[in-house]
């Protein structure tokens, strides 16, 4: 008799007892708690009507077992997982963007270095007039500014 009393207090502990239950309380509870969002959650009255149980008893059962709290926790967990997935996807996109910016800065630095080297070689070879041989201050200044911008882009991309 004592064992039967335990199962009546917590019928989920015994499959036999569950099979004797008139209603599948676990299914009803899951329908309420595991709704994808608050708007699609069935009301207790709707569940009572769907499963043929008394609305007043269902309200009492839901209140005593804290279904509302469990439902809120479930929604919060789902929301946290969605946010985590969004963050992971965004982090991947940002990493890809940073890599592209870094590679563009790197390519720009290579191009700038090549052009500067070409200017220096032309000046050393002595091709052209003295004016053409010398690298103009404006050209050097433009290249230095471009170099500075490319370095800034590369550093920003690297974090």
Cβ(12)–Cβ(18) below 8 Å: yes
Tell me: do 61 and 101 sit in the same domain.
Answer: no
- Enclosing domain of residue 40: 2-65
Last residue within a domain, chosen from 65, 81, 116: 65
pLDDT digits over 82-105, tens only?
Answer: 999 999 999 989 889 889 988 988
Tell me: do 60 and 6 sit in the same domain.
Answer: yes
Tell me: do 154 and 114 sit in the same domain.
Answer: yes
pLDDT digits over 111-141, tens only?
Answer: 988 888 887 787 777 666 655 556 777 888 8
Structural tokens at position 14: 């015994």
Residue 122's alpha-carbon distances to 55, 108, 118, 129, in angstroms, are: 93, 21, 6, 11
Which pTM value belongs to this model?
A: 0.51
What's the domain count of the chain? 2
CA distance 13 to 58: 20
Residue 136, Cα to own-chain centre: how many angstroms? Answer: 52
Phi-psi map region of 52: left, alpha, beta (phi>0 left; psi -120 to 50 alpha): left
Whether 70 maps to a domain, the answer reads no
Whether 89 maps to a domain, the answer reads no
Tell me whether residue 3 is exposed, middle or buried, using C-beta atoms within 10 angstroms of its C-beta: 0 to 12, 13 to 18, 19 or more. Answer: exposed
Tell me: do 61 and 98 sit in the same domain.
Answer: no
């Amino acid at each position: 008799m004592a064992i039967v009393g335990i199962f009546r207090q917590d019928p989920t502990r015994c499959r036999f007892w569950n099979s004797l239950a008139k209603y599948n309380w676990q299914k009803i509870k899951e329908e309420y708690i595991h709704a994808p969002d608050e708007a699609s959650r069935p009301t207790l009255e709707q569940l009572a009507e769907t499963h043929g149980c008394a609305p007043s008893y269902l309200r009492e059962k839901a209140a005593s077992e804290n279904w509302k709290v469990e439902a809120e926790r479930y929604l919060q967990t789902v929301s946290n997982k969605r946010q985590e997935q969004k963050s992971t996807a965004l982090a991947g996109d940002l990493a890809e963007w940073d890599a592209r910016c870094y590679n563009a800065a790197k390519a720009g630095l290579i191009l700038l270095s090549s052009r500067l080297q070409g200017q220096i070689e032309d000046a050393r070879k002595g091709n052209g007039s003295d004016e053409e041989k010398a690298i103009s201050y404006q050209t050097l200044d433009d290249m230095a500014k471009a170099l500075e911008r490319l370095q800034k882009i590369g550093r920003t991309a690297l974090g």
